[in-house]
Structure 1
Amino acid sequence: MIIQSPDPLLTGTYSVFLAGSIEMGSAVHWQQQICNAFRDDENIILYNPRRDDWDSSWKQEITNPAFNEQVTWELNALDAADLIVMYLAPGTQSPITLLELGLHAHSKKLIVCCPEGFWRKGNVDIVCERFGIPQVTTIEGIISVITAKYYEHTQSHLPGKI
Structure 2
Amino acid sequence: MEQPRYVEAPGEFESTGTTLFLAGGITGCPDWQRDAVRQLDELGCEATVLNPRRASFPQDDPRAHDEQVGWEYAALRRADVILFWFRPETAQPIVLYELGFHAARDGAALVVGAHPHYERRRDVLAQLARARPDITVHDSLSATVGAAVEAVARIRRATR
Q: TM-score range, shorter-chain basis?
A: 0.7 to 0.9
Alignment RMSD (CA, Å): 1.9
Query: For 2:97, which of 91, 96, 99 is the aligned residue?
Result: 99
Residues 1:46 and 2:49 aligned together: yes
**1:83: which partner in 2?**
81
Name the stretch that deviates more: 128-137 or 77-86. Answer: 128-137
Instruction: Give the Cα separation in 1 of the matches to 2:153 and 2:124.
Output: 27
**1:16: which partner in 2?**
20
Where has structure 1 moved over 2 Å in runs of 4 or more? 37-43, 55-58
Q: TM-score, normalised by structure 2?
A: 0.85
> What is the percent sequence identity of the aligned residues?
26
CA distance 1:69–1:134, shift in 2 (3 Å) = same
Deviation at 1:57, TM superposition (A): 5.0
Deviation track 1:64-120 (CA, whole Å, cap 9, x = no partner) reads 422111000000000000011111101311111111112111236221111222121
Structure 1 residues without counterparts, runs of 5 or longer: 59-63
Assess if the C-alpha contact under 8 Å between 1:38 and 1:44 holds in 2.
no
State how many pairs are aligned.
151
Q: Which one-letter code corresponds to 2:93 in the other structure?
A: P
Deviation at 1:134, TM superposition (A): 2.6
Alignment of 1:8-157 (within 5 A): 8-24=12-28, 27-39=29-41, 43-57=46-60, 64-107=62-105, 109-132=109-132, 133-157=135-159
Deviation track 1:134-162 (CA, whole Å, cap 9, x = no partner) reads 3111111122112211221122123xxxx
Instruction: Give the Cα separation in 2 of the matches to 1:104 and 1:76.
Output: 13
Structure 2 residues without counterparts, runs of 5 or longer: none
**2:10: which partner in 1?**
6
Q: Computing the radius of gyration over CA atoms, which structure comes out larger, 1 or 2?
A: 1
Aligned with 1:43: secondary structure? coil
Instruction: Give the Cα separation in 1 of the matches to 2:89 and 2:138.
Output: 18
Instruction: Give the Cα separation in 1 of the matches to 2:39 and 2:9.
Output: 19
Assess if the C-alpha contact under 8 Å between 1:2 and 1:39 holds in 2.
no
Q: TM-score, normalised by structure 1?
A: 0.84
Deviation at 1:56, TM superposition (A): 4.0
Deviation track 1:40-77 (CA, whole Å, cap 9, x = no partner) reads 8583111100012213455xxxxx42211100000000
Assess if the C-alpha contact under 8 Å between 1:2 and 1:48 holds in 2.
yes
Assess if the C-alpha contact under 8 Å between 1:85 and 1:110 holds in 2.
yes
